[in-house]
Structures are given as C-alpha cells and as structure tokens.
A and B are shown apart, each in its own frame.
Chain A
Amino acid sequence: MRAVITVIGKDMVGILAGVSNICVKYNVNIMEVSQSIMQDLFAMIMLADISDSNAPFAQLKEELTEYGKQNALSVHIMHEDIFNSMHRV
C-alpha cells in the first residue's frame, strides 16, 4: 500500500531529514518527494510505500503527528487512494 505524507508549516532546517528518519525507522520506502514554498509556508509531499512497514499504520501515523506537534508543523499521512478517487475520474 502507498501513502501520501504531507508536511505543512513554517520552513526551517531539517524537516525533510526529520520525516525521512521516521520513515527509515519504520522501514517505509520514500518513492517521490515534492516540495514547494508557498509564501513563507513550506509544503512537502511524499509518496511512500508502506507495504513493508514494520509497525501498524496507526503507530506510524501517531509518530508523524507527534513530530509535527513538536515542530509546529501539520503532518498527515493518508492512504493514496483517497486522493486518487477524489481527483481522478
């Protein structure tokens, strides 16, 4: 299963490293990354393969959310299908 990780917040050093580290910890393979700065807001979107993840989805989600809270970022991880079904006919 593939999931989309989004990170939105104020730009600072180490966001990509922070999120990637969590992915490594859970054996999640990052397949694509795109990032942009909108005004001074940092938006990063990662497509990750979580089929070989070594922990339940909920735990990964919790850790990412917690990372977001600590760094004043909004971090979400959601199943890829939600975006495909909403935006592609």
Chain B
Amino acid sequence: MLNTNDILETIHMIQDENLDIRTITMGISLLDCADSDIDRMCGKIYDKICRYAGNLVKTGEDIEAEYGIPIINKRISVTPAAMVAAACPDKNPVKIAHALDRAAKQVGVNFLGGYSALVHKGFGPGDYALIESIPQALAETERVCSSVNIGSTKAGINMDAVAKMGHIVRQCAELTADNNCFGAAKLVIFCNAPEDNPFMAGAFHGVGEPDCVVNVGVSGPGVVRAALAKAPDANLTEVADIVKRTAFKITRMGQLVAQEASRRLCVPFGIVDLSLAPTPAVGDSVAHILEEMGLESCGAHGTTACLALLNDAVKKGGVMASSHVGGLSGAFIPVSEDAGMIDAARCGALSLTKLEAMTAVCSVGLDMIAIPGDTPAEIISAILADEAAIGMVNSKTTAIRLIPAIGKKPGEDMEFGGLFGSAPIMDVNTYSPLKFISRGGRIPAPLQSLKN
C-alpha cells in the first residue's frame, strides 16, 4: 500500500500550501475558419470553438472532483487571429474578437487567448489591422486576451512594431480607464513567444500545433517555499535539490491531469508547463521563496542569483516528471499577482530596474507592472525594446505586460482584485528615448557564436 507519509504530504500540499493545477488550456486551430466574408468567418470560429471545447469546463471539474486537486482555470487558446483576419484585410477584425468572446462565454471559460499577431520580422496582411484594433477589442470584450510577438532570436527585433505597441499599450489603458485600465492587463508583448503556452494573457495556438491540443499549466510556489522552510540551514546545493524534488512532484501531478484531460476530451496531449505561478493569496508567492533562501526582501542584491537558481532547479526537477514539457516553464514574477512582490515594491525594495535584471533569468518578463498614467508611448516602447533585447540575446522568452495607470502617480495603487491582485505604481526613468524609438527599422538578429 501507499506510504502514509506520502499520502499526508500530498494532502498537506493541496490543503495548506495552495498546490493546484493553474490551468487546463485547450488549443484550437482557426486556420480552417478563414473566409473572405468576415461574418461567415466569425460564424465558423464560434461554431468550431463551441464544438471542440463544449466539454472542457465540465471535464476539468470532473477531474478536479475525482482526483481532489483544484483546477483553477479552464481556458482556450486559438491561432493568432491576424492569420485568419488576413483573409479579409479591409475589414475591422474586432468582429473576430466579439465572436471569440461569445464562444468563450458559451463554453464557460474565463479567458481565451489568441487575438494575436506575430510580427517579429515584419507586418503581413491582417497584422497591422489587427494590432490597430487591439485597444477596441480588449475594451469591448470581457474574456479575450491579446498578444503580439515583436522579436525573436532568429529574426531580431521589429522596431516599427515596438514603436507601434507603445501607443497600443497606452490606448488599451486609456479606453478602459474606468475599469482599472484592465485592457492593458489583457495584452502581452513577446520576444520569442512560445507556441504552446497555456498561461494567459499570452496564450495562443501556434501554427506548428495540431488542430486541437490540451496543455496544462501547474503551479505551487507555496509548496516550494514550505519545503525550503523545513531546511533553514541547508547550503545552496541542497536548496537546489529540494526545489528539484518538489518541482518533480508538482509536475507529476500536472502530467497526470494532462493525460487524463486528454483522454476524456479525446484530444492529443500537448505539454505540461511547469511554472511557479503565484497568486496574491498568502503563501502562494514566488517572492517569498526568494526570501526563504535568505533575502531580507525580494529586490535586495542577490535576488537575481536566487531567482536564477530557482528557475533552473524548477526546470530540472520538472522535465523528468513529464513526457513533454513546454510553454513558459519556470518562475513567474508578476508584480501585482504576488503578495511578496507587492510588499517589496511598496516598501521600495523592488524597482523596475531590478525587475528588468530579474527577467534575464526568470521564465517570463516584466509582468503586471503598473506605471504612471502620464508615461509617454515612446518610453513604453523603449521598455519593450529593452526587454525584447534581453530575450533575443539570451534565446529566451520575454513577455511584457505593463499597465499605464491613467490618472495615477507613483506611490498610488491599482486594485484589480481576484487573481490579478493589486499593483503599486512604479517609477519609470523619464529621460526621453524618443529619437531612438522613432528611427524604426529592425535590430538585426544576434550572433549565436562568440558567446561572452
């Protein structure tokens, strides 16, 4: 029979340490929905999503009950909408966003990602119109999320797109100023965007993916912190070992749920994304893991080193536990969604510059960061360019989700509520990058040799 301690450990992880499956995300290809008549296309998109994902939420709930593991979100990602929008380039693609929103509501998922464009090397037909429509689409829909890939290690950085996205981020915030600028929280700008990421708001269904697929994102920062707390005097070799062992267990659970969901939905299993995704709940914070390693506060000197250890150990522990690992896999550092990050930002220990350094070693990037409402578009673009450069040179994904807090200043707070938490508004460097951003063009792809 099973070992009593193992059983109690699992129950303890779920009950007291917030272990959960963060999301089951069904990826659905929309390529066969493309049509030169936009209304007909929207009809096809709605029908296909409802047909494929009709049982997604129910299946998730069944697995949750049977296995006793909380499955927090059931979501959908679709082919970047700009690709199907290219079939009718003279029409406003916002109709597609409405069709996606209706489908998401019909099947009962809380978010649907993929109102996206991939423009890392240039704008194709449909891309420009879609990007222009993002602020309106995110303001008028409730559940649709958007992402734009503006750079990659192989292609370099499309600086025309970077300049454009600075304005788009601002407009997203402005159009939803009466709703905590929430539009901007549903838009992610990527460098090296993964095609199988199950986490919102940056999920989309890549072109190399099958027609339909199930991806699962696990979480569990609280479990890792609790495991480290039991070894207060361990050296860092041992710390890395503890993280690996814990990540292994968490990921095994993700693998089980992914396989079971795949079997019940009759959809191929894609990947397990073995991420430490924090929530604002007490005991579910990545910052607190870093502090458990010995920092007085997240943001102190040493934070980048701790995060590098954590991120690497999570991956090492997780890869062996799953047959296919993918997505963003690693430690997330969203400011508003992490109780420890919020505290560190509030007390001044954590600055935007430190966060930027941390993104060189974490799994994502500058995530859920509120900046002053009067930040000009070119400064937002320059932050995007910096972050994309880190991703491009280091061959890693970087994602940026900035929320210009319209009408607010540093020191004030943005309250999003729920899983999105609250974000103290952080100072940005206000020296102008306008000339640099307005040059346009592309930053060439970096050398892959002579690595120093």
| Residues of A participating in the B interface, judged by any CB pair closer than 8 Å | 4, 6, 8, 32, 34, 36, 43, 45, 47, 57-58, 61, 74, 76-87
Contacts and interface: CB of A to CB of B under 8 A. Distances in A.
A82 B67 contact: yes
Contact of A78 (B9, B68, B249): B68
Contacts of A80: 2
A82 B255 CA distance: 10
15 contacts: A6-B11, A8-B8, A34-B1, A74-B15, A76-B11, A77-B68, A79-B66, A79-B68, A80-B2, A81-B67, A81-B256, A83-B6, A84-B2, A86-B6, A86-B249
Interface string B323-353: 0000000000000000000000000000000
A80 B7 CA distance: 10
A78 B64 CA distance: 10
B1 A85 contact: no
A81 B256 CA distance: 8
B4 A43 contact: yes
A80 B4 CA distance: 13
Nearest to B254: A85
B65 interface: yes
Majority SS at the chain A contact face? strand
Given A4-B7, A6-B8, A76-B11, A83 B2 contact: yes
Contacts of B10: 82-83, 86-87
Query: 9 shortest A-B CB distances, which residue pairs?
Result: A78-B68, A87-B6, A85-B256, A85-B252, A79-B67, A82-B67, A86-B249, A86-B252, A32-B1
B403 interface: no
Interface in B246-274: 249, 252-253, 255-256
Q: Which interface class (under 10, 10 to 19, 20 to 34, 35 or more) fits B?
A: 20 to 34
A85 B250 CA distance: 10
B181 interface: no
Nearest to B2: A83
Contact of A87 (B3, B15, B69, B255): B3
Contacts of B66: 57, 78-79
A78 B8 contact: no
Nearest to B320: A89
A84 B260 CA distance: 14
Interface in B63-116: 65-69
A87 to B, nearest CB: 4
Majority SS at the chain B contact face? helix
Given A34-B1, A83-B10, A87-B6, A58 B65 contact: yes
Interface string B1-31: 1111011111100010000000000000000
Nearest to B259: A85
Contacts of B3: 87
A9 to B, nearest CB: 13
Contact of A47 (B2, B11, B252): B2
A4 B11 CA distance: 11
A47 B11 CA distance: 15
Interface string B44-77: 0000000000000000000001111100000000
B251 to A, nearest CB: 9
A13 B253 CA distance: 35
Contacts of B9: 87
A60 B11 CA distance: 18
Contacts of A74: 15
A57 B65 contact: yes
A45 B7 contact: yes
B1 A47 contact: yes
A6 B249 CA distance: 20
B256 A82 contact: yes
A2 to B, nearest CB: 10
A44 to B, nearest CB: 10
A4 to B, nearest CB: 6
A87 B68 contact: no
Interface string B343-387: 000000000000000000000000000000000000000000000
B142 to A, nearest CB: 29
A6 B11 CA distance: 9
Contacts of B253: 82, 85-86
A8 to B, nearest CB: 7
Contacts of A34: 1, 4
B65 A61 contact: yes
A32 B255 CA distance: 27
Interface string B225-262: 00000000000000000000000010011011000000
A57 B10 CA distance: 20
A6 B3 CA distance: 12
Given A6-B8, A81-B256, 5 more contacts: A4-B2, A8-B11, A45-B2, A76-B11, A87-B10
